[in-house]
Structure 1
Amino acid sequence: MRVDGREIPVTGSLLQPLIRRTSDIIRVVLAALWVGVVVAASVITRPEWLALERSVSNIVGFLNPDQSNLVYLVYGMAILALPFAILIELIIGRQWKLLAGYAVSGLVAGLLLSITGTGLSTPQWHLQVPDRLDTFLSQFLDDPRWIAMLAAVLTVSSPWLPTRPRRWLWFLLLAFAPIHLVVSAVVPARAMFGLAVGWLVGAVIVLVVGTPALEVPLDAAVRLLAKRGHTVTAFTVVHPAGRGPLVLAAAVDGPERELMVEMFGKNQRSFGALRQLWRWITFRASETAALHGSMHRAVEHRALMAIAVGELGLAAQTTVAVTALDRGWTLYAHTVPRGTPIAELPGDVLTGVWKSLDTLHRAQVSHGDLRPSEIRINDGTTLFSGFAVAEYGASPAQLQSDVAQLLVSTTAIFGKEPAVRAAINTLGEQTVLTAASRLTKSAMPSGIRKAIPDWSDVLSSARDEVRAQTGHEKIQAEQITRFSRNQIIQLVLLLALVYVAYPFISAVPTFFTQLKTANWWWALLGLAVSGLTYLGAAAALWACASGLVSYRNLVIMQVANTFAATTTPARVGGLALSVRFLQKGGLGAVRATAAVALQQAVQIITHLSLLVVFSIAAGTSADLSHFVPDATVLYLAAGVGVGIIGTFMFVPKLRHWLNNSVRPQLQEVLGELAQLARDPKRFLIIILGCAAITLGQAGALWASVEAFGSGTTFITVTIVTMIGGTLASAAPTPGGVGAVEAALIGGLGAFGLPASIAVPSVLLYRVLTCWLPVFCGWPTMRWLAKKNMI
Structure 2
Amino acid sequence: MERTTGAALPSPRPPRATTPPPTAAVIAAPVAGDHTEEEITGYERSPSDVLRTVAFAVLALLLLALARGARDAATALDEDLVQRLSFLTPAVGRILAGAVTLLVLASLVGAWAMPLVTRRSRLLGHLLLSGVLAVLLVQGAGWSIDRGDTDALVREVARRGGVDSTLTVDGLAVVAASFTVLAPFVSRRWRRAGAHLLALVTLLRLLVPIAHPGTLAVALVLGALAGSATLLLLGRPSRRPTLGAVAAALTGSGLPPAALEPAVVDARGSAPYVATLRDGDRVFAKVMGADNRAADLLFRAYRFLRLKDVGDERPFSSLRRTVEHEALVSLLVRDAGARTPRLRSIAPVGSDSFLLSYDLIDGTTLDELSDDAVTPPVLRGIWEQVAVLRGHSVAHRDLRRANILLDRSGRPWLIDWGFSEVATSPALLDADVAQLLVALALDVGVEPAVDAAIDRLGPEAVAAALPRLQPNSFSGATRNALKDRKDLVPQIRAAVCRRSGVPEPKLADLERIHAKTVLTVVLLAVATYLLAPQLGDVGGMVARVRDADWVWLPVILAMSALTYAGATLSIVGAVPARLRLPTTFVAQLASSFASNWRRPVSVGWR
TM-score by length of 2: 0.71
Q: Offset at 1:266?
A: 2.1
Cα deviation per residue 1:491-524 (whole Å; 9 max; x = unaligned)? 5566667778889999986569758435659836
1:459 is matched by which residue type in structure 2? V
In structure 2, the residue matched to 1:229 is: 255
In structure 2, the residue matched to 1:397 is: 427
Matches within 5 A, 1:411-426: 411-426=441-456
User: Helix, strand or coil: the match of 1:327?
Assistant: coil
Cα distance in 1 for residues equivalent to 2:445 and 2:288: 37
Establish whether residue 574 from structure 1 lines up as the match of residue 574 from structure 2: no
Establish whether residue 288 from structure 1 lines up as the match of residue 325 from structure 2: no
- Would you say the 8 A contact 2:177–2:227 is kept in 1? yes
- Would you say the 8 A contact 1:148–1:194 is kept in 2? yes
2:459 is matched with which residue: 387, 412, 429? Answer: 429
Establish whether residue 263 from structure 1 lines up as the match of residue 287 from structure 2: yes
Cα deviation per residue 1:76-122 (whole Å; 9 max; x = unaligned)? 5544543456579x59xx97145873587269737985999xxxxxx
Establish whether residue 478 from structure 1 lines up as the match of residue 512 from structure 2: no
User: Helix, strand or coil: the match of 2:442?
Assistant: helix
- Would you say the 8 A contact 2:249–2:348 is kept in 1? no
In structure 2, the residue matched to 1:365 is: 394
2:181 is matched with which residue: 156, 169, 173? Answer: 156
In structure 2, the residue matched to 1:171 is: 199
1:408 is matched with which residue: 425, 435, 438? Answer: 438
Change (3 A) 1:165 1:524: same
Q: Offset at 1:246?
A: 2.9
Cα distance in 2 for residues equivalent to 1:555 and 1:473: 42
In structure 2, the residue matched to 1:458 is: 488
Change (3 A) 1:358 1:535: farther
- Would you say the 8 A contact 1:110–1:146 is kept in 2? no
Change (3 A) 1:167 1:554: farther
In structure 1, the residue matched to 2:49 is: 24
- Would you say the 8 A contact 1:140–1:146 is kept in 2? no
Structure with higher RCO (Cα < 8 A, 6+ apart): 2
2:567 is matched by which residue type in structure 1? T
Q: Which has the higher helix share?
A: 1
1:317 is matched with which residue: 331, 337, 341? Answer: 341
Q: Offset at 1:391?
A: 1.3
In structure 2, the residue matched to 1:303 is: 327
1:250 is matched by which residue type in structure 2? V
Change (3 A) 1:112 1:169: closer
Cα deviation per residue 1:674-731 (whole Å; 9 max; x = unaligned)? xxxxxxxxxxxxxxxxxx945xx4xxxxxxxxxxxxxxxxxxxxxxxxxxxxxxxxxx
- Would you say the 8 A contact 2:397–2:428 is kept in 1? yes
Matches within 5 A, 1:537-552: 537=571, 540=574
- Would you say the 8 A contact 1:249–1:258 is kept in 2? no
- Would you say the 8 A contact 2:94–2:162 is kept in 1? no
Matches within 5 A, 1:213-252: 214-227=239-252, 228-231=254-257, 233-239=259-265, 244-252=268-276
Structure 1: runs of 5 or more not aligned: 8-12, 117-133, 548-552, 579-691, 698-768, 770-790
User: Helix, strand or coil: the match of 2:274?
Assistant: strand
- Would you say the 8 A contact 2:381–2:412 is kept in 1? yes
User: Helix, strand or coil: the match of 1:245?
Assistant: coil
- Would you say the 8 A contact 2:329–2:420 is kept in 1? yes
Aligned alpha-carbon RMSD (Å): 4.9
In structure 1, the residue matched to 2:557 is: 523
1:154 is matched by which residue type in structure 2? F
Higher Cα Rg: structure 1 or 2? Answer: 1
1:279 is matched by which residue type in structure 2? R
- Would you say the 8 A contact 1:113–1:194 is kept in 2? no
Change (3 A) 1:529 1:156: closer
Cα distance in 2 for residues equivalent to 1:445 and 1:561: 42
Cα distance in 2 for residues equivalent to 1:25 and 1:97: 28
1:272 is matched by which residue type in structure 2? D
1:419 is matched by which residue type in structure 2? A
In structure 1, the residue matched to 2:156 is: none
Q: Offset at 1:235?
A: 2.3
1:353 is matched with which residue: 370, 382, 388? Answer: 382
Cα distance in 2 for residues equivalent to 1:455 and 1:318: 36
Change (3 A) 1:563 1:387: farther
- Would you say the 8 A contact 1:14–1:240 is kept in 2? no
User: Helix, strand or coil: the match of 2:346?
Assistant: strand
Cα distance in 1 for residues equivalent to 2:220 and 2:166: 12
2:297 is matched by which residue type in structure 1? A
Cα distance in 2 for residues equivalent to 1:556 and 1:428: 56
Change (3 A) 1:423 1:37: closer
- Would you say the 8 A contact 1:355–1:426 is kept in 2? yes
Q: Offset at 1:436?
A: 0.4
In structure 2, the residue matched to 1:630 is: none
Cα deviation per residue 1:616-650 (whole Å; 9 max; x = unaligned)? xxxxxxxxxxxxxxxxxxxxxxxxxxxxxxxxxxx
Change (3 A) 1:534 1:487: farther
Q: Offset at 1:282?
A: 3.8
In structure 2, the residue matched to 1:599 is: none
User: Helix, strand or coil: the match of 1:466?
Assistant: helix
Greater Cα offset, 322-331 or 151-160: 151-160
In structure 2, the residue matched to 1:383 is: 413
Cα deviation per residue 1:239-273 (whole Å; 9 max; x = unaligned)? 578xx323434242445664333222322221211
Change (3 A) 1:351 1:105: closer
User: Helix, strand or coil: the match of 1:333?
Assistant: strand
User: Helix, strand or coil: the match of 1:166?
Assistant: helix
Cα distance in 2 for residues equivalent to 1:313 and 1:233: 31
Greater Cα offset, 143-152 or 306-315: 143-152
Q: Offset at 1:191?
A: 7.7
1:326 is matched by which residue type in structure 2? G
2:199 is matched by which residue type in structure 1? F
User: Helix, strand or coil: the match of 1:332?
Assistant: strand
In structure 2, the residue matched to 1:732 is: none
Cα deviation per residue 1:522-571 (whole Å; 9 max; x = unaligned)? 8368537615526744874x67xxx9xxxxx999998887677x845xxx
Q: Offset at 1:156?
A: 3.1
Cα deviation per residue 1:556-615 (whole Å; 9 max; x = unaligned)? 998887677x845xxxx539xx9xxxxxxxxxxxxxxxxxxxxxxxxxxxxxxxxxxxxx
2:564 is matched by which residue type in structure 1? S
Structure 2: runs of 5 or more not aligned: 1-22, 31-38, 140-158, 578-582
Change (3 A) 1:135 1:238: farther
In structure 1, the residue matched to 2:357 is: 333
- Would you say the 8 A contact 1:316–1:384 is kept in 2? yes
- Identity %, equivalent residues: 21
TM-score by length of 1: 0.56
